[in-house]
Amino acid sequence: MIKALTIVTYTLLFLSLNGCATKNSQGEYESPYSYHPYNHNQRVTAPREVENREREVLQYRRENPIEKLIASAKSLLGSRYKYGAIGPYQYDCSGFTQYVFLREGIRLPRVSKQQAQVGTFVPPHQIVRGDLIFFDSKSSSEISHVGLYLGRGEFIHASSSKGRVTIGSLSSSYYQKHLKWGRRFIQNRRGR
């Protein structure tokens, strides 16, 4: 037992002094297998660099409430649709938007028709990422559906026809025809 510990100790000491994976002049690891000549041209991202990038992304989300809201909504993709459900595992369309906005500290009314009357009115051609978008149906001109606009013609919503939270496209003829308007709850945003 003592002999095995001694061997391990000497091996670790040897590796730390000789450095199997050496750093280059910038203090970065060239390769996890730097002692193999065929790997010397590869650059491996150091763990600290990865941590810094992750920290930057998290900081951006903290500073940008739209990105935080959208990340929250996307985390629920695939959740089941159920009429009248308000979460946390099943949603109808307005239950989904109410739940997502509440997670970010914004209170919305319960049903889509009421949600369509609060916030800042946005005409369809001025809708941007983070706006709620509202639709009527084939049988009525009243608001009957709501989703969260993601930009680039896409929105996330709890879809009764798909049976889950999913991403839809405004290029679909149905959604193009039935889109009514948007409502904005978070100002100071960029991009469509």
Element (H, E) at 177: helix 173-178
145 is catalytic: yes
Residue whose entry in the numeric block shows the structure tokens 């709501």 = 146
Q: Which of 20, 36, 40, 145 is catalytic?
A: 145
- Give the tokens for residue 179: 């889109």
3-class secondary structure, 113:
helix
157 is catalytic: yes
36 is catalytic: no
Q: Which of 40, 93, 125, 178 is catalytic?
A: 93
Q: Which of 20, 125, 157, 178 is catalytic?
A: 157
C-alpha span between 177 and 165 (Å, rounded)? 21
CA distances for 102 relative to 47, 54, 154, angstroms:
35, 25, 22
67 half-sphere exposure, CB direction, 13 A CA radius: 10
Task: List the end-to-end C-alpha distance of the chain, in Å, as a whole number.
Answer: 66
3-class secondary structure, 82:
coil
- Give the tokens for residue 46: 């150091």
Residues annotated as catalytic are: 93, 145, 157
